[in-house]
């Protein structure tokens, strides 16, 4: 049977299977197929119907779930939010809104430090470039895509055919509407789905607690339980007067959503049903043991080691200067999040013997492959050969990417500006040339807003020296070797000289240069030389990675196809790829190790127990202490008189799910997902059913802060609160 016909038949048979074979706590399920899980969801306590979650003909929960993205890549959602009022009010995580809060902050009005609250809609702050996506519908288009593919195609030919047919499908879906559409691959290119969204472009900041609450625990508590972090912020979607998506305008009006989530403050008990919907970013659960070794020994290990150098430099500077702290807050948070993730994931993968789990799967795959087409029989051995062959190049690529391309900021910014000026120089039209020059000045203004020359100089010295000393010499960019030779290993002296000579050192020197731009002069600028040198070497190494594993995509696709076939009567959720998913389970405590028991919830008492006035990660605002001392919790206390702060469930989430709504059996909002637990950081690669926990902010703590701490009664009155 032709592979595409056979797979389509297999996919259909999988969808007809009884849901009793599904393991509820594992799986990021596509909404359109969720009905097949329905009886299992009911057994877990779910009280609604599948149509209440996803229905294209009537309002349902999916209409209240929002993917937060950027205008340049609207289909890649960095976080999730949910609509909680009939006026388009959104709740999401504090760390999801961190960049916007930082953008609006100054030393005089430090919203990161002090928090921000709009007590009227007129006070809400616009955020150019921030988008909010709401799913309209999802369709299985596997048959249409596979119809243009055949087994004789090269991967390049196959990818082009997929891109061409996907564009036709998405263009047809958008025709005559305000919608945006994209076709996404599932199961490593074995299945395809069309996603149609409404993408709103006017999203305004409404509120956020101080970072001492929204980031309470900082890097120390990140990925840890028990947790006491008020990780939330609030936004609002605005539309044109006719309800259509529109760029920011004073004439825009609040969104009138098809559905918004009621907020339930009755409380969460152990074993209660819990459902999460959101936009999980990326998982890699079909990776082989060989690929996993690569992740652990190269990607995670080197990322952690390299970022440690940068984080130490940045942290010291931020602690010493409030202005620097504001400028670098969002960038530091982004860098440190996966810095710690990489290290904690490696610990969990080793502790849980995930490589052994993968090897067991591979043994079963090889048994399955013996009686199948020859192309399946050598899949794993071919993958092993390619992973081994590319190992030195993968290490070099990581040093170049983490240490140079995304280490210091000036070199790549300078290289990009040089390229733009080169394009401007080639223009014959004065108007076209001026348009590029205007764009350059716009980019530069944005860059220097969150930049400190002294800190960048230290970062350049630190990262350049670290890469030079640790990367294999044959992959070391030539400019680094020249710096080492000329300055006799003194990279600090080089960085100081480079800053004196570079027109990119600060906004003033660059603006002055642009009065009479000279492309030849710019080509010799030390930052352009460094940026170009790093980029050229990275491209060369990336090519070596690809050449060492030319057939990796095909082998991985065949491997995944085999896994689907050999699992026969068990539905499997595809890897996360920033498309909307649903995961369900229960609120559960756990025992991370012998003799240790973790309760399923925490309270405000724990915040006070963790308080440390000498540690910026554990400072507690005076007003919060006053409310705690008076036990002034209002209607948000539990039956014991405690104020719950966070709780845990066994839902299956990953990055991108941050801010996702945690809903009870009736579809009411009970929490906001914001983290995973360190003991099961293997989850993106292999779900650990007994240990994996999702850490969630309790809505009662959120509402308490809005009401009692901030006094934002306007927001409380706007939401539907069920007592």
Specify whether the CB–CB gap between 404 and 467 falls below 8 A. Answer: yes
112 occurs within a structural domain: yes
Listed residues 243, 270, 297: the one ending a domain:
270
338 occurs within a structural domain: yes
Q: Are residues 93 and 144 in the same domain?
A: yes
364 occurs within a structural domain: yes
Specify whether the CB–CB gap between 502 and 414 falls below 8 A. Answer: yes
Q: What angle do CA 309, 211, 76 make, to 5 degrees?
A: 70
* Tens digits of residue pLDDT in 548-604: 999 999 999 999 999 998 887 677 899 999 999 999 999 999 999 899 999 999 999
Within 10 angstroms of residue 201's Cβ, the number of other Cβ atoms is 20
Q: Are residues 389 and 431 in the same domain?
A: yes
pLDDT of 2 > 70? The answer is no
Give pLDDT, residue 408: 98
Residue closest to 132 by CA, chosen among 65, 63, 197, 68: 68
Under the banding of pLDDT at 50, 70 and 90, the label for residue 71 is very high
* Tens digits of residue pLDDT in 661-685: 999 999 999 999 999 999 999 999 9
Give the DSSP H/E element, type plus range, for residue 460: helix 453-470
636 occurs within a structural domain: no
Under the banding of pLDDT at 50, 70 and 90, the label for residue 5 is very low
- The single residue listed with the structure tokens 């009905």 is 35
43 occurs within a structural domain: no
pLDDT of 22 > 90? The answer is no
pLDDT of 721 > 80? The answer is yes
Between 242-246, 616-620, 680-684, the lowest mean confidence (pLDDT) is in: 680-684
For 62, phi then psi, to 5°, come to -60, -25
Range of the domain at 207: 58-270
Q: Are residues 414 and 543 in the same domain?
A: yes
Catalytic option among 95, 197, 228, 260:
95
Give pLDDT, residue 180: 97
d(CA 325, CA 316): 10
d(CA 354, CA 683): 10
Residue closest to 342 by CA, chosen among 305, 374, 315: 305
Residues near 379 by Cβ (< 8 Å), separated by ≥ 6?
365, 369, 555, 558, 559, 562
User: Strand 694-698 relative to strand 721-722: parallel, antiparallel, unpaired?
Assistant: unpaired
User: How many structural domains are present in the chain?
Assistant: 2
Q: Are residues 265 and 296 in the same domain?
A: no
Q: Is 438 a catalytic residue?
A: no
d(CA 341, CA 278): 20
For 150, phi then psi, to 5°, come to -150, 165
139 occurs within a structural domain: yes
Region of residue 656 (left: phi > 0; alpha: psi -120 to 50; beta: else)? left
Specify whether the CB–CB gap between 27 and 652 falls below 8 A. Answer: yes
Q: Is 658 a catalytic residue?
A: yes
Catalytic option among 170, 233, 658, 682:
658
Tokens of 4: 């595409």
Q: Burial of 566 by CB count in 10 Å (0-12 exposed, 13-18 middle, 19+ buried)?
A: middle
CA atoms within 13 A on the CB side of 712: 25
Q: What angle do CA 469, 471, 476 make, to 5 degrees?
A: 95
Q: Are residues 196 and 294 in the same domain?
A: no
Q: What angle do CA 32, 67, 114 make, to 5 degrees?
A: 150
Burial 164-173 (b: 16+ CB within 10 A, else e): ebbeebbeeb
Cis peptide bond upstream of 226, omega within 30? yes
3-class DSSP state of 696: strand
**What predicted TM-score, i.e. pTM, was given to this entire model?**
0.91
- The single residue listed with the structure tokens 């994931």 is 345
Listed residues 533, 555, 577: the one ending a domain:
555
Give pLDDT, residue 23: 44
Specify whether the CB–CB gap between 573 and 283 falls below 8 A. Answer: no
Residue closest to 233 by CA, chosen among 104, 74, 324: 104
d(CA 196, CA 294): 36
Tokens of 381: 């051995």
CA distances from 109 to 103, 213, 215, 492 (A): 11, 18, 18, 35
Query: What is the mean pLDDT of the segment spanning 29-34?
Result: 90
Under the banding of pLDDT at 50, 70 and 90, the label for residue 372 is confident
Residue closest to 509 by CA, chosen among 525, 489, 533, 494: 525
Which has more pLDDT, 375 or 452? Answer: 452
Q: Are residues 261 and 317 in the same domain?
A: no
Q: Is 185 a catalytic residue?
A: no
Which has more pLDDT, 37 or 397? Answer: 397
d(CA 36, CA 22): 9
CA distances from 166 to 171, 182, 484, 574, 619 (A): 8, 7, 50, 19, 51
Q: Are residues 256 and 294 in the same domain?
A: no
Taking all residues of the chain, what is their mean pLDDT, rounded to a whole number? 94
- The single residue listed with the structure tokens 């980031």 is 215
Specify whether the CB–CB gap between 544 and 394 falls below 8 A. Answer: no
Residue closest to 318 by CA, chosen among 307, 330, 303: 330
Q: Are residues 233 and 306 in the same domain?
A: no
d(CA 41, CA 276): 12
Specify whether the CB–CB gap between 285 and 575 falls below 8 A. Answer: yes
283 occurs within a structural domain: no
Residue closest to 416 by CA, chosen among 535, 542, 537: 535
CA distances from 250 to 85, 246, 256, 379 (A): 21, 11, 17, 58
User: Strand 590-593 relative to strand 596-598: parallel, antiparallel, unpaired?
Assistant: antiparallel
Tokens of 621: 């605002």
d(CA 643, CA 576): 34
* Helix residue ranges, H only, 90-188: 98-103, 111-114, 142-146, 155-174
Give pLDDT, residue 569: 61
Query: What is the mean pLDDT of the segment spanning 229-241?
Result: 98
Tokens of 150: 């055949």
Q: Are residues 521 and 465 in the same domain?
A: yes
Q: How far is CA 391 from the centre of its chain?
A: 26
609 occurs within a structural domain: no
d(CA 491, CA 497): 10
Tokens of 449: 């807003």
Sign, CA dihedral 353-355-356-360, equals positive
d(CA 444, CA 440): 6
Specify whether the CB–CB gap between 674 and 93 falls below 8 A. Answer: yes
Specify whether the CB–CB gap between 125 and 234 falls below 8 A. Answer: no
- The single residue listed with the structure tokens 């026969």 is 568
Query: What is the mean pLDDT of the segment spanning 199-212?
Result: 98
Q: Are residues 357 and 500 in the same domain?
A: yes
Q: How far is CA 473 from the centre of its chain?
A: 34
pLDDT of 177 > 50? The answer is yes
Residues of the chain with pLDDT > 70, as a percent, come to 96
Residues of the chain with pLDDT > 90, as a percent, come to 91
d(CA 253, CA 245): 11
Residues near 676 by Cβ (< 8 Å), separated by ≥ 6?
223, 653, 654, 683, 692, 693, 694, 695
Q: Are residues 246 and 176 in the same domain?
A: yes
d(CA 312, CA 455): 11
Give the DSSP H/E element, type plus range, for residue 610: helix 604-610
Listed residues 555, 584, 618: the one ending a domain:
555
Query: What is the mean pLDDT of the segment spanning 489-502?
Result: 98
* Tens digits of residue pLDDT in 303-334: 999 999 999 999 999 999 999 999 999 999 99
Q: Are residues 293 and 228 in the same domain?
A: no
Under the banding of pLDDT at 50, 70 and 90, the label for residue 25 is low
Catalytic option among 231, 272, 652, 684:
231
């Amino acid at each position: 049977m032709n592979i595409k016909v056979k797979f389509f038949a297999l996919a259909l048979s999988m969808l007809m299977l009884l849901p009793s074979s599904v393991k509820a706590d594992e799986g990021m399920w596509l909404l359109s197929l969720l009905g097949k899980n329905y009886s299992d969801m009911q057994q877990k306590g779910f009280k609604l119907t599948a149509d209440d979650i996803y229905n294209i003909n009537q309002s349902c929960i999916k209409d209240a779930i929002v993917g937060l993205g950027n205008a340049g890549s609207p289909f890649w959602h960095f976080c999730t939010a949910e609509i909680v009022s009939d006026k388009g009010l959104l709740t999401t995580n504090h760390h999801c809104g961190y960049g916007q809060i930082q953008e609006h902050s100054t030393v005089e009005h430090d919203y990161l430090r002090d928090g921000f609250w709009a007590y009227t809609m007129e006070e809400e702050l616009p955020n150019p470039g921030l988008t909010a996506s709401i799913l309209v519908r999802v369709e299985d288009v596997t048959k249409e895509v596979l119809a243009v593919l055949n087994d004789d195609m090269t991967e390049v030919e196959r990818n082009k055919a997929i891109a061409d047919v996907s564009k036709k499908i998405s263009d047809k879906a958008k025709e005559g509407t305000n919608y945006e559409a994209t076709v996404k691959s599932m199961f490593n290119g074995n299945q395809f789905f069309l996603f149609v969204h409404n993408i709103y472009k006017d999203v305004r900041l409404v509120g956020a607690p101080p970072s001492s609450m929204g980031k309470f625990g900082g890097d120390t508590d990140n990925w840890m339980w028990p947790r006491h972090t008020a990780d939330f912020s609030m936004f609002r979607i605005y539309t044109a007067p006719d309800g259509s998506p529109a760029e920011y305008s004073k004439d825009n009006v609040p969104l009138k959503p098809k559905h918004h989530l009621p907020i339930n403050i009755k409380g969460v008990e152990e074993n209660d049903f819990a459902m999460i919907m959101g936009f999980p970013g990326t998982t890699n659960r079909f990776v082989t043991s060989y690929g996993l070794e690569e992740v652990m020994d190269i990607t995670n290990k080197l990322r952690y080691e390299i970022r440690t150098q940068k984080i130490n430099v940045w942290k010291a500077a931020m602690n010493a200067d409030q202005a620097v702290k504001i400028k670098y807050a969002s960038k530091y948070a982004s860098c440190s999040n996966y810095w710690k993730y990489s290290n904690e994931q490696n610990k969990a993968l080793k502790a849980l013997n995930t490589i052994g789990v993968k090897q067991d799967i591979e043994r079963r795959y090889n048994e399955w492959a013996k009686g199948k087409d020859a192309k399946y029989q050598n899949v794993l051995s071919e993958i092993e050969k390619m992973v081994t062959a590319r190992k030195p190049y993968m290490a070099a690529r990581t040093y170049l990417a983490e240490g140079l391309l995304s280490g210091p900021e000036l070199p790549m910014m300078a290289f990009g500006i040089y390229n733009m000026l080169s394009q401007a120089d080639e223009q014959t039209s004065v108007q076209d040339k001026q348009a590029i020059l205007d764009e350059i000045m716009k980019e530069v203004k944005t860059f220097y807003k969150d930049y400190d020359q002294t800190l960048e100089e230290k970062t350049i010295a630190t990262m350049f020296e670290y890469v030079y000393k640790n990367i294999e010499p044959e992959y070391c960019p030539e400019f680094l070797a020249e710096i080492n030779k000329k300055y006799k290993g003194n990279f600090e002296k080089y960085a100081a000289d480079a800053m004196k000579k570079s027109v990119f050192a600060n906004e003033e020197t660059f603006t002055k240069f642009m009065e009479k731009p000279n492309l030849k002069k710019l080509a010799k600028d030390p930052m352009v030389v460094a940026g170009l040198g790093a980029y050229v070497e990275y491209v060369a190494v990336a090519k070596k990675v690809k050449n060492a594993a030319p057939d990796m995509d095909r082998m991985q696709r065949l491997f995944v196809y085999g896994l689907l076939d050999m699992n026969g009567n068990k539905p499997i959720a595809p890897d996360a790829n920033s498309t909307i998913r649903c995961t369900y389970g229960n609120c559960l405590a756990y025992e991370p190790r012998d003799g240790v028991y973790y309760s399923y919830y925490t309270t405000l008492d724990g915040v006070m127990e963790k308080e440390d006035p000498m540690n910026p990660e554990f400072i507690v605002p005076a007003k919060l202490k006053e409310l705690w001392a008076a036990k002034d919790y209002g209607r948000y206390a539990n039956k014991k008189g405690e104020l719950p702060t966070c709780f845990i469930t066994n839902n299956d989430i990953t990055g991108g799910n941050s801010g996702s709504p945690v809903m009870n059996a009736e579809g009411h909002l009970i929490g906001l997902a914001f983290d995973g637990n360190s003991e099961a950081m293997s989850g993106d690669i292999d779900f650990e059913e007994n240990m994996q926990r999702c850490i969630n902010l309790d809505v009662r703590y959120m509402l308490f802060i809005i009401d009692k701490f901030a006094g934002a009664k306007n927001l409380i009155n706007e939401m539907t609160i069920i007592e």
